[in-house]
Amino acid sequence: MNAIDFFCGGGGMTCGLLDAQINVLFGIDSNPACQNTYEHNNEIPYLNMNIQDVTVNILREQSPLVDDIDELLLVGCAPCQPFSILNPRNPNEHISVNLLNEFGRFVREIHPAHILIENVASIGRRGQEVLDLFRNMLIAEGYLFDDGVINAKEYGVPQNRRRYILIGSRRFVPHIPNPTHGEDLLPYRTVYDAIHDYPPIMAGEENMEIPNHRAAGISARNLERMEHTPHDGGSRMDWPRELWLECHQDFSGHSDVYGRMSWNQVSPTLTSKCFSLSNGRFGHPEQNRAISLREAAALQTFNDDYIFEGSLMEIGKQIGNAVPVRLAEVLGGYILHEHENI
């Protein structure tokens, strides 16, 4: 089976599909900062274009296998920001709301055998109209599909990451794969499982022997706050009052910011700022710093030989926005198995 990975970013979905033995023809994304990471790790072409400027003929120029539609999987993980509950704006005001339907344009014109969609869990609420248009298009084009919200921790990812998944096919009746981890199944993979082996580093330091094992610097005041944050799950609520931020003096919400992860639990959902103490519970369970880029990548189930290129901010986005590699492998493996057993 062949695949095209739309909105491929730094390559989490592509990497997982390759692990599932699916031949990814190329990735497409409009962010040039991701190209080196994607191409150097996956050895697959990266088409740096806005999807609105891409045509089927351009895809054919990339590979003649695009026309082998009975062996083709189209994957679309459109940018999720407009549908995220963290985005206070009206999703209909965001330019990205049309990207799912732009992806649908290729489904209509190419008519691939299979389709895979991943997005934030809240798309069903904040993007209901956009999602309904896409699903109605699939029905009109003769596709069967199954969709719903899953949690990546139930598929071997050491992270609490709820995501909307849609699997569509015109060759078999799809079902979202059953969880493999959880109660009466394999135990969840934990933060300890994922990152305990990495050597200690200080905030602002980088271990040159392990690619991307680099931690963001923090101020002296925030270092003092981390020193007062109990190991293994402590939060800013444990600080002495004089260390509280002014914005928190009369507000008890967002208690996760500046908090530490817990060794024996899955991590919280990683975001594009997962290397920053002030943007979530991204503190190392013991060391006085946020998790490193390499540790974040491990929580997204990238292997250590997957090397990210770019600035701290760019790499944070590549990691935080990625589809966890293990989840992509499970979904791709399911589609390939069903395809081969038709």
Does residue 80 carry a catalytic annotation?
A: yes
> What angle (nearest 5°) sits at the alpha carbon of residue 307, between those of residues 120 and 103?
35
Q: CA separation (Å) from 8 to 215, 256, 337?
A: 25, 29, 23
With H, G, I as helix, E, B as strand and everything else as coil, classify residue 38. helix
What type of residue is 272?
S
Q: Are 56 and 33 in contact (CB under 8 A)?
A: no
Q: Which candidate, 136, 118, 119, 22, places its Cα nearest to that of 72?
A: 22
> What angle (nearest 5°) sits at the alpha carbon of residue 271, between those of residues 267 and 274?
70
What type of residue is 25?
L
User: Whole-angstrom Cα distance, residue 179 to residue 164?
Assistant: 14
Q: Among the options 8, 15, 80, 274, which is catalytic?
A: 80
Encoding tokens for residue 51? 């999807």
Q: Buried b / exposed e across 306-321, counting CB within 10 Å, b at 16+?
A: bbbbbeeebbbbbbbb
The DSSP bridge partners found for residue 4 are: 26, 74
Residues forming the active site: 80
